[in-house]
């Protein structure tokens, strides 16, 4: 497939600079990783509204909460493993509980962190953030959607968690597309089975669907960018129309996208489904694309999961 690849982190940094010109009350914070998260772009453009706290993620969340009480719109960034794991208590008590206007944008989510290994491959973050009342969770599908998402969360009051990857993603959407919070997008229609994916796994699901079409399997592919609140109507509609659901995520299958979809199905329209992702194991060090292949999260692995699910009688 002829896709143009672009860094979602770079799109994030560029959008922050754009917003900084429009919003005098925008403040950006980082924890000594600004060149990697690309918040350094904002820091270079607006040094008086950029705070690098050093290796103090917990302190960063507390400061962000305090700034939010003064009317600031605060974006905080670090790697996903630090932003959500190391600072969970501060996010819970100081941001989510009082519903403060803090936007947590974490980069380097999932196993595509690659060579940094299991210690940095955060596969629990979506589950942690979805479990917090008042927190809304978004995993953009590409850089174009990153730009729309960042502008959206900046305009909405209250806390958000946005998960980005380290690696570049193919642009599957257009610049002028709209972002509809809480709504899924059908990327490819189909009648035999539905693949619901998030983030980088949407592109691999589309590749898998193309492979399967040559075998006579017509797979629908849905981009579920908003994980919380999840689009219940789209899930039930897909279950009614295709009869089978496969979820795909660069995340633990427990407490992630698959768990959220399963909750909707069991309460509304049970059909055969499988959760495909990191099967309750930590990652290992390696090239990001080799890791996706190793864990069956590439097109071939997804296609195999679809074939297995197609054997289940409805």
Active site residues: 57
Contact 70, 27 (CB under 8 A): no
User: What is the Cα gyration radius of the chain?
Assistant: 19
Residue corresponding to tokens 């679809």: 306
Q: Are 255 and 131 in contact (CB under 8 A)?
A: yes
- d(Cα 129, Cα 268) in Å, to the nearest integer? 24
Helix locations, 55-172, DSSP H? 57-68, 80, 88-90, 125-130, 143-155
Do 284 and 116 meet the contact criterion of CB atoms below 8 Å apart?
Answer: no
The HSE-up count of residue 194 (CA atoms within 13 Å, CB side) is 27
């Amino acid at each position: 497939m002829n896709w143009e690849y672009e860094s979602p982190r770079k799109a994030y940094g560029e959008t922050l600079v754009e917003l900084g010109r429009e919003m005098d009350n925008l403040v950006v914070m980082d924890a000594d990783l600004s060149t990697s998260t690309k918040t350094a772009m904002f820091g270079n453009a607006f040094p008086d509204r950029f705070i690098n706290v050093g290796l103090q993620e917990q302190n960063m969340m507390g400061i962000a909460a305090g700034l939010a009480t003064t009317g600031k719109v605060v974006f905080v960034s670090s790697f996903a493993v630090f932003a959500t794991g190391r600072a969970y208590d501060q996010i819970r008590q100081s941001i989510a509980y009082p519903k403060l206007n803090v936007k947590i944008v974490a980069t380097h989510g999932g196993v595509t962190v690659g060579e940094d290994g299991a210690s940095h491959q955060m596969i629990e973050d979506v589950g942690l953030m979805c479990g917090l009342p008042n927190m809304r969770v978004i995993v953009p599908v590409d850089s174009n959607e990153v730009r729309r998402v960042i502008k959206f969360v900046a305009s909405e009051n209250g806390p958000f968690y946005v998960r980005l990857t380290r690696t570049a993603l193919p642009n599957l959407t257009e610049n002028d597309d709209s972002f509809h919070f809480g709504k899924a997008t059908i990327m490819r229609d189909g009648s035999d089975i539905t693949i619901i994916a998030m983030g980088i796994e949407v592109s691999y699901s589309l590749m898998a669907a193309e492979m399967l079409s040559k075998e006579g399997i017509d797979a629908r592919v849905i981009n579920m960018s908003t994980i919380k609140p999840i689009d219940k109507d789209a899930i039930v509609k897909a279950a009614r129309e295709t009869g089978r659901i496969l979820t795909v995520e660069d995340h633990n299958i427990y407490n992630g996208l698959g768990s959220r979809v399963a909750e909707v199905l069991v309460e509304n329209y049970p059909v055969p489904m499988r959760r495909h992702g990191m099967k309750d194991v930590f990652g290992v060090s390696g090239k990001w694309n080799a890791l996706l292949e190793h864990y069956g999260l590439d097109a071939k692995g997804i296609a195999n999961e679809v074939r297995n699910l197609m054997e289940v009688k409805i």
